[in-house]
Amino acid sequence: MELAVFNSLDNSEAADVLRPCIDIDRWVNELIAARPFTDVSDLTQAAERSANPFTAQEIEAALAHHPRIGERAAGESAEAKLSRNEQAALNLDEDVNARLIEANRAYEERFSRVFLIRAAGRTTEEILAECQRRLGNDDDTELREVAEQLRAIAVLRLSNAVQN
């Protein structure tokens, strides 16, 4: 969608564009209120500012929509389609798949949430290594890393959804 079209949408329609990027009410509402944007860079900078910081409650709510890395999101929602597309390049042979399943399980046991990482542009091995590294984080550090990954995912999705 062109930025000029996004700028001209009513609030409900603009929210429909933004929610698949990240379904956090405060983020969506702040971006809607900040329109019109002069260019996509202006929009993505606003998206980063609005996402900083996410509260722990916002993070947990957003994670409810994210599948495990290596699992393909089910359903026909815009967010599920984006997730499948972002993970499409992951090539899981049996060994890597087994290690990723184990790392996901260990992460969920440790932090009581799904492991989140911007998968687009990363190899399966890079994602696995990052999951294993982050298992050593304390709770506060990991919460900050999750928030940064949510921001990265939201901005990537937004820049793909709205262009100059």
Angle (CA) 67 70 75, round 5°: 45
Cα 48 to Cα 151: distance, rounded to the nearest angstrom: 6
Angle (CA) 137 47 67, round 5°: 50
Give just the sign of the alpha carbon dihedral 100, 106, 111, 113: positive
Q: What average pLDDT is seen over the chain?
A: 87
What digits encode the pLDDT tens for the residues 3-16? 999 999 999 999 99
**90 vs 100 pLDDT, higher one:** 100
What digits encode the pLDDT tens for the residues 63-79? 887 777 766 544 555 55
Average pLDDT, stretch 58-64? 89
Residues written for the chain: 164
What digits encode the pLDDT tens for the residues 28-52? 999 999 999 999 999 999 999 997 8
- Kindly list the structural domains of the chain, giving each domain's residue range(s) and its CATH number in brackets, ordered by start: 3-161 (1.10.3330.10)
Quick one: 140 exposed, middle or buried, by C-beta within 10 A (0-12, 13-18, 19+)? exposed
Token readout for 74 is 């089910």
- 7-45 burial, b if ≥16 CB within 10 A, otherwise e? eebeeeebbebbbbbbbbeebbebbbeeeebeebeebbe
